[in-house]
Amino acid sequence: MLISWLGLDIAVLLAPVHERLLHYTLPLIAPAAMLAAYGIVSVTTAATRNRPPSWTVRAVPVSMALTLALCVEVHDAIDLMATRQTLLERESSPVVLAGNWIADEIPASARIAYDYASYIPPQFIHATATWGASPGWLLKLRPDFVVVNTAIDGAWRGRPAAEAYYSCVKSGACGYRHRYSLDTFSAYERVQSALPTE
């Protein structure tokens, strides 16, 4: 029965009707563990058939099972610690901290222009991304906030429109004032009275 189950499960896994993902093999773990335990018991039984079993011979399969379980648990604990460390680093990264500031300080209804190297939280449905805009584009869009990442300033060298866009925003000449900076991220808010007209 157990071998039939394994055969049927393997046939379903190999059938070309679905994706082959690792988690689909989870139902194979219990039958495989049962067969492995049966093999260990068979070997130890055969080894002790001609002599009376001692506690050391009986301890072999138990110690093997415990060692295997310990290895699995240690591996899982190391993975869990690595995942936790990654999450902690991500939570304290400038990208996330700048995104948290945006979520806390800017209304979700605000219109935001941002470059693709910046992060805007998903609740901002009026966010428009750009990859090297121009002052004319900014004037036409008229967002409430502009978010930029200065880490990509070098990408605009030799592109006058994009250079003018970032320079205009940072200097305030386009009608935006600096509101927030963290690492390479900066947010600028539109100043109504200073907004240029066409």
β-strand pairing of 145-149 with 112-115? parallel
Q: CA-based Rg of the chain, rounded to a whole angstrom?
A: 31
What DSSP assignment string belongs to 50-114?
TS---HHHHHHHHHHHHHHHHHHHHHHHHHHHHHHHHHHHHHTSHHHHHHHHHHHHS-TT--EEE
For the record, the structure tokens of 71 come out as 């290895």
What is the reported pLDDT for 127? Answer: 93
Tell me the pLDDT of the chain averaged across its residues. Answer: 78
**Cα 21 off chain centre by:** 19
pLDDT of 50 > 70? The answer is no
- Amino acid 193: pLDDT: 47
**Residue 47's pLDDT is what?**
67
**pLDDT tens string 51-103:** 655 666 566 666 666 676 667 667 777 777 777 777 666 667 788 888 889 99
Q: In the chain, what percentage of residues exceed pLDDT 70?
A: 71
Tell me if 99 sits within 8 A of 120, measured CB to CB: yes
| pLDDT above 50 for 194 | no
116/120 Cα distance (integer angstroms) = 9
Backbone torsions φ then ψ of 154, nearest 5 degrees: -65, -20
What per-residue confidence (pLDDT) applies to 126? 94
Strand partners, 112: 127, 145
Which residue ranges make up each domain of the chain? 2-53, 94-194
In this prediction, residue 155 carries a pLDDT of 80
How would you classify residue 93: left for phi > 0, otherwise alpha for psi between -120 and 50, otherwise beta? beta
- Report the predicted TM-score, pTM, of the whole model to 2 decimal places: 0.54
pLDDT digit string, tens, across residues 144-189: 999 998 888 778 788 898 889 988 999 999 899 999 988 888 999 9
